[in-house]
Structure 1
């Protein structure tokens, strides 16, 4: 760490301000005067990460992508209830859209926190940094098993909450290590073949799926194997129904949420009872082709909230998947208690509601 001379705005005197020297997820060395008080984020799920380590995460924002769909309607409502000013903050492009240099410069954040999957180019980063705004690239979603921990550490350093970031990461690591030890003792032949259908039932054509990375890595970690990882080289894409049937997975997991209600897909999460979610899952699993899978015929049918899956709270998904894939090995896991602990011990804005379900009562 080095120090920079900075002008005190109250009396014009020169003070020494610390500067953070960071290496971001792209391997870039970035100097950020810090800790900072105003950041721009291109993914609303960074609000969840900030909520883990700061009591008032919205107070840290100068701009965000207004991609409230990634939080879910109820999740967004919870943030708005705590901080109504969130709705009026300047908007920048989300990581799912074309990168917009001008909107970031106009927001004048202390630092722009961008997602590795945003597609931002080196030339665009240079333009933002040329305007005096450091750019830090993080990743909570594309390769979470490798990138989530260092990304949260960096975020903690940026906002002066390093201790809180370390505390959460220790909590997560303890649980992940316990799962990894048991999975290491499983024979390779007991690795469970899984079909995870993302945004299940959202369109008439089959089927959205994670490819390499992301949720496929979670399933591999807990002793499973997602069939999408064998067919899709990118992080997500579509599988055809014939391929799914030919692989005949032993476990079927649907992801969905309130955003699929209008399209007749799988709904789960706040605003839906466990019985509502179970009936929705039953409908999705009864579709042509899917109903004939061994997983469905034998009742190994599960549903998980897409918002909670693609989340810095991934330990909840990891524990839930472990319990579904190897129920005898992980009979003692209680992901509902883990989420309750996250709510009481870490999260400034809690996650309330039923976020996963199976067809078994």
Structure 2
């Protein structure tokens, strides 16, 4: 590109959060987005709409989970169109967009974020001419990650507890879980053993209750948010009270099969806002998982303090709590 992008089309709302780490006015750069509010949460979207009212008026286009419309993208005529790796346009469609003068970029916050998130952020920072601020955040993230990985490496005889992590808990029939990739990789990073990776070859899949029981997990972690509310699932996030979040987590723990798990009987049950997953602020997830899976090894890790620093130093719109909870 001859210069920084001024009109960006994105197929995932979480890319707005990434841009807000790099510039004080991320919405001014957005030419079109899917209006997939559920991916960042209603409360977060309202905070952006209050700060940047024009976000509601931006052209709506198909998201990464929908059918791509080349005609729709051509009508918007952005400088660059950004898609989730593994989805989006085919090679022929990329050529069609590029022949119209629209640059095409693929990034990955979803499949292999530990490998690709830093590279994806660097690409976005370069696209908008914000390399210095972007690198400052990358350095911040790497320093926090290194504090965890160094400690894991320095503990060669570390026992890796078996972790059952259920995503979108209660949204559908039990139980959706990360396999090889996605949030499951973070469980391994912080010294846990993701039981779903033993049977699921892809980044996400479904486990039967019998498989979960046979795997004998020692820790149970659920993710949820406003997207699970109508189904009576686990809810958490800025728009829910602590009491609502804990009550819904207790319902998840009381389901047939789940209630008999050893961590549930011990009260070793935790909840995490799903909107933090597949997100540029994945360091919050990493620290929270570390403190749950190895509470003694990481007793000094404080995700709340990290969130405060993220808000003070980087995010154009502060990220509100509460985004994690314990059943006890």
The TM-score normalised by the length of structure 2 is 0.98
> Structure 2: which 5+ residue stretches go unaligned?
none
User: CA deviation digits over 1:88-117, x for unaligned, max 9?
Assistant: 111221111122211111111111111103
State whether structure 2 residue 282 is matched by structure 1 residue 314: yes
Secondary structure of the structure 2 residue equivalent to 1:328:
coil
Output the CA distance in 1 between the equivalents of 2:112 and 2:206.
19
| Aligned equivalent of 1:4 | none
Aligned residue among 80, 85, 89 for 1:116: 85
> Structure 1: which 5+ residue stretches go unaligned?
1-31
Aligned residue among 329, 332, 341 for 2:309: 341
Please give the root-mean-square deviation of Cα atoms over the aligned residues, in Å: 1.1
What is the 5 A alignment of 1:1-361?
32-187=1-156, 190-203=159-172, 205-360=173-328
1:152 positional shift:
0.5
When structure 1 is superposed on structure 2, of 248-257 and 101-110 the one drifting more is 101-110
1:33 positional shift:
2.4
Output the CA distance in 1 between the equivalents of 2:197 and 2:56.
38
Answer whether contact 2:161 2:218 (CA < 8 A) is retained: yes
Output the CA distance in 2 between the equivalents of 1:136 and 1:62.
15
Output the CA distance in 1 between the equivalents of 2:227 and 2:157.
37
Answer whether contact 2:113 2:278 (CA < 8 A) is retained: no
Answer whether contact 1:95 1:117 (CA < 8 A) is retained: no
Answer whether contact 2:158 2:191 (CA < 8 A) is retained: no
Q: Which has the higher contact order (CA 8 A, sep 6+)?
A: 2
Output the CA distance in 1 between the equivalents of 2:12 and 2:161.
32
Output the CA distance in 2 between the equivalents of 1:181 and 1:195.
24
User: CA deviation digits over 1:310-358, x for unaligned, max 9?
Assistant: 2110000000000000000000010011011111110001111200000
Q: How many residues matched?
A: 328
User: CA deviation digits over 1:157-211, x for unaligned, max 9?
Assistant: 10010001100000000010110011113345601110100000122x2101111
User: CA deviation digits over 1:204-253, x for unaligned, max 9?
Assistant: x2101111111011111000121111211121111111101110100000
Answer whether contact 1:97 1:118 (CA < 8 A) is retained: no
When structure 1 is superposed on structure 2, of 114-123 and 314-323 the one drifting more is 114-123
Answer whether contact 2:250 2:327 (CA < 8 A) is retained: yes
Output the CA distance in 1 between the equivalents of 2:155 and 2:89.
41
The TM-score normalised by the length of structure 1 is 0.89
Output the CA distance in 2 between the equivalents of 1:345 and 1:275.
31
When structure 1 is superposed on structure 2, of 168-177 and 65-74 the one drifting more is 65-74
Output the CA distance in 2 between the equivalents of 1:292 and 1:117.
38
Output the CA distance in 2 between the equivalents of 1:208 and 1:36.
38
User: CA deviation digits over 1:279-315, x for unaligned, max 9?
Assistant: 1111111100001111111111000000012211000
1:58 positional shift:
0.3
